[in-house]
Amino acid sequence: MQIIAMATMLIDHIGLLFFPHEPVWRIIGRLAFPLYAFGIALGYRHTRSRRKYLIRLFAIALLSQVPYSLGLHMRDINVVGTFAVCLTVLMLFERIRSPWGRWGLAAAAGILLEVLPFDYGAYALVLILIYLRANRDRWIAAHMVLNALYLAIHPGWVLQLFSIAATILLVYGQQLVAASEQIRVPRWLWRSFYPAHLAALALAIWMIKGN
């Protein structure tokens, strides 16, 4: 899954920067975000230290912000920062026993993610909660509803409808996902790939413009 997530994210960003009028790059890239969101859900569930996991996410987010802004010409907070906020919410859930309290926290966090310029906003939190809380056989329907709601709010998100393919893969393509897991991605590569590929793209843009 890691190799698929990294590859599709790289394809997405290459398409965004170098082939903006060829949507197939971005369509393929729609696989990346749900796979990373699923990875956050797995990490939350299985990591030995959620505190260290959270610190790593914030560190990666900080390291990534400048290359993210320069490479992709974005002014919002990069997606790892969004994931760090989502993980913080999940950890706070553990301290709140009341379902209403958890709903209130989720709503407040969703508003925060939407009001402040976080990449993917509340969409990220809801999708992670789907992967964590919903039965696997309901993931596809829940993700489709989420996409429809978000498209109604953000009409420019048409391409995001293709992200459902990633959830279909997670539900029905478990053999393919398991096969991809046989490709061992070193921890240093997995953790550094996001800021490193953004820095490489920023450098490529600078070199092209310089020439």
pLDDT tens-digit series, residues 150-193:
999 988 889 999 999 999 999 998 777 666 667 778 888 889 99
Does residue 121 have a pLDDT over 80? yes
Contacts of 211 (CB under 8 A, 6+ apart): none
User: What percentage of the chain carries pLDDT values higher than 70?
Assistant: 96
Structure tokens at 11: 């394809």
**For residue 206, what pLDDT band results from cuts at 50, 70 and 90?**
confident
Other residues' Cβ atoms within 10 Å of the Cβ of residue 198: 24
Measured distance CA(134)–CA(143) in Å, rounded: 10
Phi, psi of 137 (to 5 degrees): -70, -5
Does residue 65 have a pLDDT over 80? yes
Question: What is the reported pLDDT for 91?
Answer: 96
Q: Tell me the pTM.
A: 0.92
- Report CA Rg, the chain: 17
C-alpha angle 106/93/44, rounded to 5°? 105
Q: What total number of domains does the chain contain?
A: 1
Strands of 69-172, DSSP E: none
Question: What is the reported pLDDT for 3?
Answer: 87
pLDDT tens-digit series, residues 16-53:
999 999 999 999 999 999 999 999 999 999 898 999 99
For tokens 């301290």, what's the residue? 95
C-alpha angle 78/81/40, rounded to 5°? 110
Q: Span 64-84, mean pLDDT?
A: 93
DSSP, res 106:
H
Q: Span 13-18, mean pLDDT?
A: 94
DSSP, res 77:
B
Does residue 210 have a pLDDT over 70? no
**For residue 133, what pLDDT band results from cuts at 50, 70 and 90?**
very high
Give the domain extent around 162.
Answer: 2-210
Q: Span 73-99, mean pLDDT?
A: 94
95: burial class by Cβ within 10 Å (0-12, 13-18, 19+)?
exposed
DSSP, res 134:
S
CA 80 to chain CA centroid, Å, is 7
